[in-house]
Chain A
Amino acid sequence: DAKTTQPPSMDCAEGRAANLPCNHSTISGNEYVYWYRQIHSQGPQYIIHGLKNNETNEMASLIITEDRKSSTLILPHATLRDTAVYYCIVRGPGGSQGNLIFGKGTKLSVKP
């Protein structure tokens, strides 16, 4: 079973920041938080991942709380092309534990 909880859907105005929350209260000390997104009928696209420090790349920022029980993915300036299902995933250290278990994700709709 997925170890994360996300809101089923969110709306965001084009050009505004999209903040997608995720709860992972049972995360273990060696588990990373990964974010992927899936546009309809395509394979998931990697966005960002982190362990305990905040992370930023060209796509997004990841804010992880100090107790690591929740995180927020931030898309700083959402565009219509960011409309997708966003998955927050907790991933184990490797081998059979290294797979990604997908929950239901958050369907983000960016509106003009």
Chain B
Amino acid sequence: GAVVSQHPSRVICKSGTSVKIECRSLDFQATTMFWYRQFPKQSLMLMATSNEGSKATYEQGVEKDKFLINHASLTLSTLTVTSAHPEDSSFYICSAGTGAREKLFFGSGTQLSVL
């Protein structure tokens, strides 16, 4: 099946720094990518939807200036957590699809710990 690669798998950073997470579709072109966040023992929460070449659409309550999303090509989307704080510590997961009615494939996730 299709593969979505997410990097890094784990990152620890100091409060106030920025962290970039990459999501790549390895064997297909992803017109749409989604970014999720998951806190311990909770379900995945959609943060934003990104379409190649256009601005991301953020879910209500997600700060677009804090969580910068770039989808510059059909195989790469990045999520940058700016000025990270301990409350941003979470498991971040991306997913990618080729269009409507297709399967969405998920990355392996990034565990962010902000000290």
Contacts and interface: CB of A to CB of B under 8 A. Distances in A.
Given A100-B34, A102-B43, A103-B43, A41 B91 contact: yes
Contacts of A42: 108-109
B67 interface: no
27 contacts: A34-B103, A41-B91, A42-B108, A43-B4, A43-B6, A43-B108, A43-B109, A44-B44, A44-B106, A45-B106, A46-B106, A93-B101, A94-B101, A95-B32, A96-B49, A96-B57, A98-B97, A99-B49, A100-B34, A100-B46, A100-B95, A100-B104, A101-B46, A102-B43, A102-B44, A103-B43, A105-B43
A5 to B, nearest CB: 13
B86 interface: no
Contacts of B99: 94, 98
B95 A32 contact: no
B1 A46 contact: yes
Nearest to B51: A95
Contacts of B46: 99-102
A2 B108 CA distance: 22
Chain B residues touching A, majority SS: strand
A43 B93 contact: yes
Contacts of B106: 36, 43-46
Interface of A: 2, 32, 34, 36, 38, 41-46, 49, 87, 93-96, 98-105
Nearest to B9: A41
Given A100-B95, A103-B43, 4 more contacts: A34-B104, A46-B105, A94-B100, A99-B49
B89 interface: no
B29 interface: no
B91 A98 contact: no
A41 B109 contact: yes
Contacts of A38: 44
A32 B32 CA distance: 18
